[in-house]
C-alpha cells in the first residue's frame, strides 16, 4: 500500500490516548485499514455499490425544500475503517445529507442505519452518542468559552454534567483532569496549544475549523463526519492535518468528509462518492473518479488536473498558434474552486 507508506508528520503518542486498539474491527494480519482498503478494491465503481463491511447504510433518503429536491439518495453504503470523500458541486446536497444522517434535519422519507441501528427519527444528540459525530461547514465554536473549555465540552460520559453531581467537585474533578490532558494533546496536534486560554470567538476562521475538528474527536467517535474541514486552513497545516486524518484511520476510526480540494481528496481518501443535484451519480476509488466522464462534466471541469496558471498559459499558447483574438471558447470555468 504505497499511500500508507507516507511518513506521519507527528509520529508520537497517537496510539496512546485513543481508546481502541490500533487495529479496527476487520483485523486480519495487517492493520484494520489495510484490510478494509483492500476489500474496497473488489467493490465495483458504480453508484450505490455494496461494501464488504458498511458502517452506514442509507436507503431512499429524500429531502426537499419547497419544490427543490435537495437530497434524493437511493442507496449508499460507507465502508468501515476507511476514509471516504463526498464531493459534488455547490448545492449538490452534501451538507443537507450530513444534516439528515446526523439528525439535524428530518427527511421526507427514507431510512438509514449506523452499525446496524436504525437512525431514522433519532435525536441528534443520540446519534452523536452512538459514535457518529459531525462538524459543520459554517463552524460552530462556542465563542464565549475558552478554547480549552470548548474541548472539554466534547468529552462524553462526564459525571459532572449531571445536576446532582455538579456541585460536588470531588465526584468529577479527576475525570475533568483526564479530559483536560486529552484535550491538550489534541490541541497540540492541531497547533492550537498556545490558544488554550483564549476565547474561541477570538480565533481566526481557519483556527475555528481546527478547533471544531479537534472537539469532535473529544467525543471519541467511531465515524467522524467533516464538512469541508480544510476550507481556510493554510497549506503547511493542511499537510500535517492530512497526516492526522490518516492516523485517525490507523486508529480504527472511519472518516467521511466533504471537500472541494481535489488534491486532498486524492491524497487521503480510499473511496469517493460524488453527488450532484441531490443524487449519488458516481462512486469509486479516487483515480477512477477523476477519470469518470460524468464527474468531469458535473463537477471537476475539463481542466481539473491542470494548475491554473499553467492552464492560462496553455490557452494563451493556443491563441498565439491559431491567431484567435478572443479565443475564450477554450476557457472552461473551474467549478472546483469555491
Partner 1 sequence: MDIISSALHDAFSPFALSFVLAAIGLNVHFGYTGLLNFGQAAFCAVGAYAMGVSVASFDLPLIVGIFFGLVASALLALVLGVPTLRLRADYLAIATIAAAEIARLVFSTSFKEYFNARDGVSGFTRGFRDINPLPDFNGQFLTFSRNDWWVMTVGWVLVALTCIFLWLLMRSPWGRVLRSIREDEEAVRSLGKNVYSYKMQALVLGGVIGAFGGFIGGLGLASVQPDSFNTDFTFIAFTMLILGGAARILGPVVGAVLFWGVLSGVGSTLARLSSGDNPIIPPDLMGSDQVSNVRFMLAGLALMLLMIYRPQGIFGDRKEIALDAR
Ligand X SMILES: Nc1ncnc2c1ncn2[C@@H]1O[C@H](COP(=O)(O)OP(=O)(O)OP(=O)(O)O)[C@@H](O)[C@H]1O
Cell of 237: 497545516
d(CA 299, CA 72): 18
Regarding 65 and contact with ligand X (CB under 6 A), the answer is yes
Find how far residue 143's CA is from the centre of its chain. Answer: 23
Which DSSP letter does residue 18 get?
S
283 strand-pairing partners: 273
Regarding 201 and contact with partner 1 (CB under 8 A), the answer is yes
Give the SS3 label for residue 146. strand
90/234 with CB nearer ligand X: 90
* Residue 125, binding choice from ligand X, Mg ion, partner 1, none, Cβ under 5 to 8 Å by partner class: partner 1
With cell 458516481, the residue in question is 282
Among 136, 180, 319, 327, binds partner 1 (CB under 8 A): 136
- Give the E-state strand segments of the chain in sequence order: 54-65, 68-79, 83-87, 109-114, 117-118, 132-134, 223-227, 254-258, 271-276, 279-284
Regarding 102 and contact with partner 1 (CB under 8 A), the answer is yes
Among 30, 60, 64, 124, binds partner 1 (CB under 8 A): 124
Regarding 82 and contact with partner 1 (CB under 8 A), the answer is no
105/305 with CB nearer partner 1: 105
Regarding 111 and contact with partner 1 (CB under 8 A), the answer is no
d(CA 218, CA 182): 8
65/322 with CB nearer ligand X: 65
Binding segment for partner 1 (CB under 8 A), chosen from 23-31, 80-88, 163-171, 237-245, is: 163-171
Regarding 167 and contact with partner 1 (CB under 8 A), the answer is yes
Binding segment for partner 1 (CB under 8 A), chosen from 1-9, 21-29, 58-66, 215-223, is: 215-223
Footprint on this chain of Mg ion (rule: CB under 5 A):
94-95, 137
Regarding 69 and contact with ligand X (CB under 6 A), the answer is no
* Residue 141, binding choice from ligand X, partner 1, Mg ion, none, Cβ under 5 to 8 Å by partner class: partner 1
d(CA 275, CA 259): 12
Regarding 91 and contact with ligand X (CB under 6 A), the answer is yes
With cell 479565443, the residue in question is 327
Find how far residue 300's CA is from the centre of its chain. Answer: 19
Any alpha helices (H) in 72-168, and if so which ranges?
94-101, 124-130, 147-154
Least distance (Å) from partner 1 to the CB of residue 181? 15
Cell of 136: 459543520
With cell 483485523, the residue in question is 27
Cell of 196: 488554550
Regarding 206 and contact with partner 1 (CB under 8 A), the answer is no
Q: Interface residues with ligand X (CB under 6 A)?
A: 65, 68, 70, 88, 90-96, 137
Q: Interface residues with partner 1 (CB under 8 A)?
A: 102, 104, 123-126, 128-129, 133-136, 140-145, 149, 152-154, 156, 158-163, 165-169, 172, 176, 199, 201-202, 215-216, 218-219
Amino acid at each position: 500500500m504505497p499511500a500508507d507508506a507516507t511518513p506521519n508528520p507527528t509520529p508520537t503518542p497517537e496510539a496512546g490516548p485513543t481508546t481502541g486498539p490500533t487495529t479496527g474491527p476487520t483485523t486480519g494480519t495487517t492493520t484494520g485499514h489495510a484490510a478494509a482498503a483492500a476489500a474496497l478494491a473488489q467493490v465495483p465503481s458504480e453508484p450505490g455499490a455494496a461494501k464488504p463491511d458498511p458502517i452506514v447504510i442509507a436507503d431512499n433518503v429524500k429531502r426537499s425544500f419547497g419544490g427543490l429536491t435537495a437530497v434524493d439518495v437511493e442507496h449508499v453504503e460507507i465502508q468501515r475503517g476507511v476514509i471516504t470523500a463526498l464531493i459534488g458541486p455547490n448545492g449538490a446536497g452534501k451538507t443537507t445529507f450530513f444534516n439528515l444522517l446526523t439528525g439535524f434535519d428530518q427527511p421526507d422519507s427514507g431510512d438509514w442505519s449506523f452499525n446496524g441501528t436504525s437512525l431514522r427519527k433519532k435525536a441528534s444528540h443520540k446519534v452523536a452518542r452512538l459514535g457518529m459525530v459531525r462538524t459543520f461547514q459554517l463552524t460552530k465554536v462556542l465563542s464565549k468559552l475558552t478554547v480549552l473549555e470548548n474541548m472539554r465540552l466534547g468529552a462524553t460520559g462526564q459525571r459532572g454534567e449531571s445536576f446532582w453531581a455538579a456541585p460536588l467537585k470531588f465526584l468529577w474533578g479527576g475525570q475533568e483532569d483526564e479530559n483536560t490532558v486529552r484535550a491538550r494533546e489534541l490541541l497540540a496536534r492541531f497547533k492550537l496549544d498556545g490558544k488554550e486560554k483564549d476565547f474561541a470567538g477570538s480565533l481566526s476562521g481557519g483556527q475555528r475549523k481546527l478547533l471544531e475538528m479537534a472537539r469532535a474527536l473529544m467525543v471519541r467517535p467511531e465515524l467522524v463526519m467533516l464538512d469541508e474541514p480544510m476550507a481556510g486552513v493554510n497549506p503547511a497545516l493542511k499537510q500535517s492535518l492530512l497526516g492526522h486524518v490518516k492516523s485517525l484511520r490507523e486508529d480504527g476510526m472511519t472518516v467521511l468528509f466533504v471537500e472541494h480540494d481535489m488534491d486532498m481528496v486524492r491524497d487521503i481518501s480510499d473511496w469517493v462518492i460524488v453527488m450532484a443535484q441531490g443524487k449519488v451519480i458516481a462512486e469509486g476509488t479516487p483515480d477512477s473518479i477523476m477519470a469518470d466522464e460524468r464527474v468531469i462534466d458535473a463537477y471537476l471541469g475539463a481542466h481539473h488536473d491542470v494548475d491554473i496558471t499553467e492552464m492560462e498559459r496553455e490557452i494563451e499558447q493556443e491563441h498565439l498558434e491559431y491567431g484567435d483574438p478572443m479565443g475564450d471558447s477554450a476557457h472552461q470555468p473551474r467549478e472546483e474552486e469555491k
